[in-house]
């Protein structure tokens, strides 16, 4: 998949290979440290900068369920996009065509596959079933996919709700037709975006997004796996990331394009602390000193940094009982992020340079985090303000403010992924369009 999250600019390998396997195999790896170590030792074609030693890596015990859920969701998203409901009058059944019987399926399937939604239990059905079709590939046989088995009941119900072709329909043909892929987006004209990590230090949330239809690069906290505090403040962290971005843009495989002013445009963005870092990096990436021009910033529920007493805040490592290693490391990174944000003064563009400040969009969580011990969470201190407190910095900071589902800590939850993916995609597209006007 060419729309990749590149977690740092120092890795030597461009491509990442993923091996898909049975869920039972993934589950087995999750329970066996020896198998995890062997898998980690067999990484090939990739640089290892920024990766922890094999012994320190964490393989989620529920990885099989997580991957299955993500893959099912992606498969259903693709079927919905290929259905007639999204074709807007253009060759409605170009990709998927309902048929009334197995005989019709055999006559119509050609080089594609049959999608089967059983109306009755099929315990005795072979999950690797095929349909005999004259002149078909693979020995005159085509695959029959039992969607209930492959996708699960909840995803099939979503498919029926969002794609009319699948309602009250038992058989459909998935046609053999080359469609647009993420590799096509990577080679297109969309401006690349660099997504900065949140306070927890990782880019995991961005991996869960639906495709943004542009090249995507991710930067995570290089100290995440050690648990060591970052040596310096937010400005110093932004300085390091600025250097990484410059090095990445200078690489020959970077999908660069040039504006009319001869500059290479990029977008910046991130969730929570990722928005703070984006603003600071945009200031440090002075177009007078580099070939790069930041044309837009997307802040995802990034709150203006308020000063507060930390006497009652939980210390790193507190409440670690029952939490896995990655959760503990994220808590430690979060505490260090609060330290940096607290001591950070947002950059200022003076009257002569205000025109150089990129356009900024804000995605704003609709809900407040539930109270804990009767206290409001720090991320909600300015929740009642439309601009999340940024009016104290500049009342005209944002070109648009868009609501997103959930509270601050759940905007990337699976139940909200479709919402935030769509709004991030639209906001990034809008920032790019505005830069050309």
* Distance (Å, whole) CA 100 – CA 103: 8
**What percent of the chain is predicted at pLDDT more than 90?**
39
280 three-state secondary structure: helix
| Structure token digits, residue 363 | 């995605």
Nearest to 227 by CA among 314, 323, 335, 321: 335
What DSSP character marks residue 358?
P
What region, left, alpha or beta, does residue 41 occupy, with left being phi > 0 and alpha being psi -120 to 50 degrees? alpha
CA distances from 404 to 15, 30, 196, 282, 333 (A): 33, 33, 19, 24, 25
Q: How confident is the model at residue 123 (pLDDT cuts 50, 70, 90)?
A: low
For the ranges 220-229, 260-269, 427-436, the lowest mean pLDDT is seen at 220-229
* Distance (Å, whole) CA 434 – CA 399: 10
* Distance (Å, whole) CA 318 – CA 327: 12
Q: How confident is the model at residue 44 (pLDDT cuts 50, 70, 90)?
A: very low
Nearest 5°: phi and psi at 48?
Answer: -120, 10
What DSSP character marks residue 142?
E
* Distance (Å, whole) CA 174 – CA 246: 44
Whole-number CA gyration radius for the chain: 24
Class of domain 188-435: alpha beta
End-to-end CA distance of the chain: 32
Whether 283 contacts 349, CB under 8 Å: yes
Q: Where are the beta strands (DSSP E) in 63-140?
A: 96-99, 113-116, 130-132
pTM confidence score: 0.61
218 three-state secondary structure: strand
* In the predicted structure, residue 348 carries a pLDDT above the cut 70: yes
Q: What is the pLDDT of residues 76-120, one digit of tens each?
A: 988 988 888 877 666 788 889 999 888 888 887 666 788 999 887
Whether 171 contacts 99, CB under 8 Å: yes
Mean pLDDT of the chain: 80
> Residue 281 has what pLDDT?
97
CA dihedral 180, 186, 190, 195 (to 10 degrees): 120
| Structure token digits, residue 227 | 């648990």
């Amino acid at each position: 998949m060419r729309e990749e999250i590149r977690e740092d600019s120092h890795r030597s390998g461009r491509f990442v290979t993923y091996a898909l396997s049975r869920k039972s195999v993934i589950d087995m790896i999750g329970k066996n440290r020896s198998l995890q170590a062997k898998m980690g030792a067999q990484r090939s074609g990739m640089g290892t900068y920024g990766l922890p030693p094999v012994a320190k890596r964490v393989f989620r015990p529920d990885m099989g369920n997580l991957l299955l859920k993500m893959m099912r969701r992606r498969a259903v998203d693709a079927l919905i996009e290929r259905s007639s409901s999204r074709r807007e009058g253009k060759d409605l059944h170009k990709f998927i065509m309902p048929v009334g019987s197995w005989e019709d399926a055999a006559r119509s399937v050609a080089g594609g596959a049959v999608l089967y939604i059983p109306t009755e239990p099929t315990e005795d059905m072979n999950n690797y079933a095929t349909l005999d079709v004259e002149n078909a590939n693979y020995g005159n046989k085509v695959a029959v996919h039992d969607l209930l088995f492959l996708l699960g009941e909840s995803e099939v119900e979503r498919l029926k709700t969002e794609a009319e072709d699948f309602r009250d329909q038992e058989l459909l043909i998935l046609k053999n037709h080359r469609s647009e892929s993420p590799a096509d987006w990577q080679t297109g004209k969309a401006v690349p975006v660099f997504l900065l990590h949140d306070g927890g230090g990782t880019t995991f949330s961005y991996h869960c997004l639906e495709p943004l239809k542009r090249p995507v690069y991710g930067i995570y906290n290089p100290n995440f796996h050690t648990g060591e505090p970052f040596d310096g403040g937010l400005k110093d962290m932004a300085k390091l990331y600025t250097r990484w971005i410059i090095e990445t843009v200078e690489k020959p495989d970077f999908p660069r394009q040039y504006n009319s002013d001869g500059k290479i445009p990029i977008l910046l963005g991130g969730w929570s602390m990722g928005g703070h870092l984006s603003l600071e990096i945009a200031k440090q990436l002075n177009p007078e000193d580099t070939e790069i021009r930041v044309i837009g910033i997307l802040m995802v529920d990034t709150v203006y940094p308020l000063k507060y007493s930390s006497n009652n805040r939980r210390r790193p490592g507190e409440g670690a009982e029952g939490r896995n290693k990655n959760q503990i490391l994220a808590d430690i990174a979060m505490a260090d992020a609060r330290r940096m944000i607290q001591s950070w003064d947002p950059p200022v563009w003076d009257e002569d340079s205000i025109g150089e400040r990129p356009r900024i969009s804000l995605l704003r969580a609709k809900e407040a985090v539930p109270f804990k011990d009767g206290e409001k969470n720090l991320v909600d201190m300015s929740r009642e303000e439309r601009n999340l407190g940024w009016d104290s910095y500049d009342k005209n900071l944002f070109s648009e403010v868009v609501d997103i589902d959930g509270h601050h800590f759940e905007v990337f939850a699976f139940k909200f992924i479709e919402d935030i993916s769509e709004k991030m995609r639209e906001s990034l597209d809008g920032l790019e369009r505005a830069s050309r006007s």
